Structure 1
Amino acid sequence: MKKTRIMITGAAGNMGSETLKLLRNDLAQCELLLFDLDNENSRRKLKEYEEIAGIKVVYGNLLDRKLVYDCVKDSDIVLHIAAFVSPAADEHPEKAMQINYGSAKNIIDSIKKSGHSNSTRFVNIGTIAETGDRMPPIHWGRVGDPIKPSVYDYYAVSKIAAERMVIESGLRYWVSLRQTGIMGPAMSKIQDPIMFHNCLENVLEYVSDRDSGRLMRNLCIKDISGELDEGFWKHIYNIGGGESCRVSTLEMFQVLYGKLGITNLDYVIDRKWFATRNFHGQYYLDSDKLENYLGFRSDSMDYFYQSYLDNLGALVPVAKVVTKLPGGQKLMGAMIKRTLKKEAIKERGTLRFIEDNDIEKIDAYWGSKSNWEAIPSKLSEMKKFINWDKVIKLDHGYDENKPAALLNIDDMKGAATFRGGECLSVDMETGNWTEKLDFKCAFGHTFSASPKLVLEGGHFCPQCERESWNYKERAKREPFFAQVWNPIQGKEDGREYKKIVSELDVLQD
């Protein structure tokens, strides 16, 4: 009997390698096709798999249409994990779009060309960055909330375009899993200016690298065994580790530095170095949906904290001794602070934005120069948010208590109006979430989209998404979008930022 072939893109990456570690134990039920770039890193990480029966390793580029087709045509499940991620994606926007959108397009086109549109399972990995900045008090979110990539976040922009394509692909078996921050050894080693973009009161519901791999493995094996409910497919889900993985950035620092014996963070953190908006993150109201299907959670934030200590190695006991001495916390804090400043002053660093008086970036990350100037330097003087458990559930513009099978044209007209636009279609098949309808947005652009894309995905006008970050004006015209802008922006904050690339720039056949 033919075994199920599972293709894993980005097999040498963080999430891909964890998936591979587990699936290699299931070769009695499946065979694996591992795909990654042909470079020293990939070959080193995948070398041990090259001679294992039931595993085929392919080195190449996902933009090579013929190679992708040759791999996809005989694959039953495609786990598309590979991506060009931030911060590199933000430095090379065109490359990010070419890879993240182009690779997904090549895979979908290959599935269709192979004649397997009704059988191949396509698992797309999206990102929490698609919904962008969700600072308190709107820090609880769910699928269907407005799509809102942070300014300059071209990784998110490219993933949004790819997800839109996946949802509207017409494939029978697709799913888009929006990945959150992946904690583990790799995250514990990050030294990059992007760390200062992550606001101190930002929150994330992380997931571990190991649990991410377990999620992918369980999805495949449950599907192969027939345990995975048919209703799992054709939906968007948030990947999250649950309650034990929910943490604010400040709380994370308190725990990490606390393990070194530093209890006064004034010695370590300069409040003015950290952005106050324009990152991404939220606690999930709906991440249990994926857990209920796939049962993948096992790790808590303690796994990351231990990874951090393991990365520091012999420095940990030294720090613990020093911080117990008189003036030791101040000394150790000053040493750490000097190291942090080296990152903050680099290109893309927040301190660089201030020193260069880069007003556009200052406005993006603080709202205005005056907002930044008003920030106290001492963390202890910071007014801290405390209502973390309070949930402000966003309105999606239609009756969500109504059975999905009863969705009709009136629901769609109301949803379009709530989005500042209009549903131009005069009828629809009741309960049909996949047939495209015609819309006009608040800026007069016309487009077609399915109820699935609009209501479940939170997407709307593709032209507005392609052209710019124009959030202040959108919030004036779109009540739906205003919910994620007005609560965290000052009345005078906001400007339009033109985008320099869209999916229309990706090379086509």
Structure 2
Amino acid sequence: MVKKKRVMITGAAGNMGGETLKFLRNDLAKCELLLFDLDNSTSRQKLKEYERLSGVKVVYGDLLDCDLVYECVKDADIVLHIAAFVSPAADEFPERTMQINYGSAKNIVDSIKKSDRAHVTRFVNIGTIAETGDRMPPIHWGRVGDPLKPSVYDYYAVSKIAAERMVIESGLRYWVSLRQTGIMGPAMSKIEDPIMFHNCLENVLEYVSDRDSGRLMRNLCISDIDGELNEGFWQHIYNIGGGESCRVSTLEMYQVLYGKLGLTNLDYVIDPKWYATRNFHGQYYLDSDKLEEYFHFRRDSIDYFYQNYLDNLGALVPVAKVITKLPGGQKLMGAMIKRTMKKQAVKERGTIRFIEENDIEKIDAYWGSKNNWEAIPAKVSEMKKFADWDKVIKLDHGYDENKPTSQLNLEDIKGAAKFRGGECLSTDMETGNWAGKLDFKCAFDHTFTASPKLMLEGGHFCPQCELESWNYKERAKREPFFAQVWNPIQRKADGREYMKSYQN
């Protein structure tokens, strides 16, 4: 009898992990599941039904517990590392965020190596779209390999960048990093937090549903278990996205959502001055179809989120539709919604709070300057709106991407390093070896080692610059590669250095 493969899922009680579990429970004839999550009432409630299933083991604990992680990982054939400490909570506890998000991934990688299965165990790391940060128009189309630019104060993204770097350079034979986008579903429809005002009105995202995310994870596992997954899939970074039907700007999303309540004039419900104009994250993907070609997981469109939103409002929907049909009804309903939303904007981390307290550091981060904020019109109808959404500005990665990777040599790497404002210090390189580490110096004279894959495919470069501060204005002056994601969306006077407040 063929031995079943063991799949370990971290964060099994979470949003993406829970959906993954729902799909994989139907494949227990092919695999055993080890479900890992924190020991709390929420996790125990969500995983209670799985504790009784044959072929499923539930472990409650902490991923920072090295011994426990090793006991779980040592016999795993596939590890889906989905668990994470996420924003907005993550941004309030920088040190804890780095400990959890970097430390958990490091413990898993170390455990795989300790088990002497580094050449066998599949490790699926979940990264984030937040790694590439603010990509407002006109540079709203992106792909893997673009510069990493986590937004100021986004410690979740910073921790995920550090974890991804470690995974890429780990030496594991079977690793992959999947950068997750915004996950739409019931959880997203219930968000009530100041972070909603950090999402700029003209920001874009290529969302994916919670269900499609779970289907992706399931199809990856079963494809590998069945021996159908091409070896070429591994040792790469991919963007997870729902495709064309899941691409939407924040303003367009509001137009549809409020339109379903009968609100056709957004001036009644949205004050543009409450919304940041930069320093969030999001983009449309030029390369998300790669995962779809492998795993055929897409089923949902953005309409799935709209329906979740309406379901969450419940009986309020027909009431709103009646009110907005009455004379003055749209204005009344809009005022009611604005009052509710303002309660979030005035909280800690809220955009109105930044302005009221004249918090210049926050104002500069989210608008560029106080003058920029003052210039924002008070009405949506008065906004000068971006319209050329289909125009693609494809960023230069600093080397000939038409050249087969098997032919890339030291001169290619030297040129790419120079484009990043630095220098490749190594004097020899095996042609086509993307995994071998080379010596580099960055534009700020920090020295470090990195593989060509980390730099060219991942968009990573100097780890010290990444860990010390957000110093984007100065980096853009010295690094042509990075300037591509800074200069087009910042005014000349905008930008300052922000030190990162955690212990490395």
Structure 2: which amino acid aligns with 1:68? Answer: V
Q: Secondary structure at the match of 1:386?
A: coil
1:115-157 alpha-carbon deviations (Å, 9 max, x no partner): 0000000000000000000000000000000010000000000
The answer to whether structure 1 residue 297 and structure 2 residue 298 are counterparts is yes
The 5-angstrom pairing of residues 466-477 of structure 1 reads 466-477=467-478
Shift of 1:393: 0.1
- Correspondence 1:273-284 to 2 at 5 A: 273-284=274-285
Q: Could you state the TM-score of these two structures normalised by the residue count of structure 1?
A: 0.99
Q: Secondary structure at the match of 1:339?
A: helix
CA contact (8 A) 1:433 1:450 kept: yes
- 2:52 is paired with a residue whose SS is coil
Structure 2: distance between partners of 1:312 and 1:91: 29
CA contact (8 A) 1:466 1:501 kept: no
Q: Distance in 1 between matches of 2:36 and 2:380?
A: 46
Matched, 1:368 2:373: no
Q: What pairs up with 1:36-435 in 2 under 5 angstroms? A: 36-435=37-436
- 3-state DSSP class of the match of 1:50? helix
Q: Any idea what the Cα deviations from partners look like across 1:71-111, whole Å, max 9, x if unmatched?
A: 00010000000000000000111111010000000000000
| Map of 1:438 onto structure 2 | 439
Q: Give distance in 2, aligned partners of 1:24 and 1:273.
A: 44
Shift of 1:426: 1.0
Return the alpha-carbon distance in structure 1 between the equivalents of residues 397 and 502 of structure 2. 29
CA distance in 2, matches of 1:294, 1:430: 32
SS at match of 2:232: helix
Query: What are the Cα deviations for residues 153-196 of structure 1, in whole angstroms up to 9, with x where unaligned?
Result: 00000000000000000000000000000000000000000000
For these two proteins, the number of residue pairs brought into alignment is 503
Cα-to-partner distance string for 1:423-459 (whole Å, 9 max, x where unaligned): 0001100000000000000000000000000000000
- Whether the 8 Å contact between 1:144 and 1:458 is mirrored in structure 2 is yes
One-letter identity of the residue aligned with 1:215: L
After superposition, the C-alpha distances for 1:216-240 in whole angstroms (9 at most, x for unaligned) are 0000000000111000000000000
Q: Is the 8 A contact 1:180 1:240 kept in 2?
A: yes
Q: CA deviation at 1:500?
A: 1.4
Per the alignment, residue 507 of structure 1 pairs with none
CA RMSD of aligned residues (A): 0.4
Whole-Å separation in 2 of the counterparts to 1:116 and 1:407: 30
Structure 2: how far apart are the matches of 1:500 and 1:352? Answer: 21
Q: What residue identity is the alignment partner of 2:296? A: G
Pairing 1:501–2:496 present = no
- Deviation for aligned residue 1:501: 2.1
Identical counterparts, % of pairs: 85
> Residues of 1 paired with 2:19 and 2:464: CA distance?
37
Report the counterpart of residue 18 of structure 1 in structure 2.
Answer: 19
- Which residue identity does 2:318 align to in structure 1? P
Q: Write the distance in 1 (CA, Å) between the matches of 2:192 and 2:387.
A: 29
Inter-partner Cα distance in structure 2 for 1:348 and 1:420: 34
Cα distance in 1 between the residues matched to 2:376 and 2:225:
55
Partner residue, 1:483:
484
TM-superposed deviation, 1:45:
0.1
What is the distance in 1 between the residues matched to 2:307 and 2:465?
A: 43
Q: 1:17 aligns to what SS in structure 2?
A: helix
Question: SS of the counterpart of 1:33?
Answer: strand
Question: 2: distance between equivalents of 1:262 and 1:427?
Answer: 64
Q: In the alignment, residue 13 of structure 1 is paired with which amino acid?
A: G
Mapped to 2, the partners of 1:295 and 1:500 lie a distance apart of: 41
Q: Quote how far apart the aligned CAs of 1:392 are.
A: 0.1
Q: Distance in 2 between matches of 1:34 and 1:463?
A: 35
Deviations 1:28-86 (A, max 9, x none): 00000000000000000000000100000000000000000000001000000000000
Distance 1:289 1:430 in 2: 26
Secondary structure at the aligned position of 1:123 is classed as strand
Q: Is the 8 A contact 1:344 1:352 kept in 2?
A: yes
Structure 2: unaligned runs, 5 residues or longer: none
Secondary structure of 2:179's match? strand
Q: CA–CA distance in 1 between the matches of 2:502 and 2:157?
A: 12
- 3-state SS, counterpart of residue 7 of structure 2: strand
The one-letter code sitting in structure 2 at the alignment partner of 1:432 is N
Q: Report how far residue 14 of structure 1 moved.
A: 0.2
CA distance in 2: counterparts of 1:96 and 1:467, whole angstroms: 15
Inter-partner Cα distance in structure 2 for 1:28 and 1:271:
53
SS at match of 2:35: strand
Contact 1:447 1:462 survives alignment (8 Å): yes
Q: Distance in 2 between matches of 1:401 and 1:501?
A: 41
Q: Quote the offset at 1:470 in angstroms.
A: 0.1
Deviation for aligned residue 1:417: 0.3
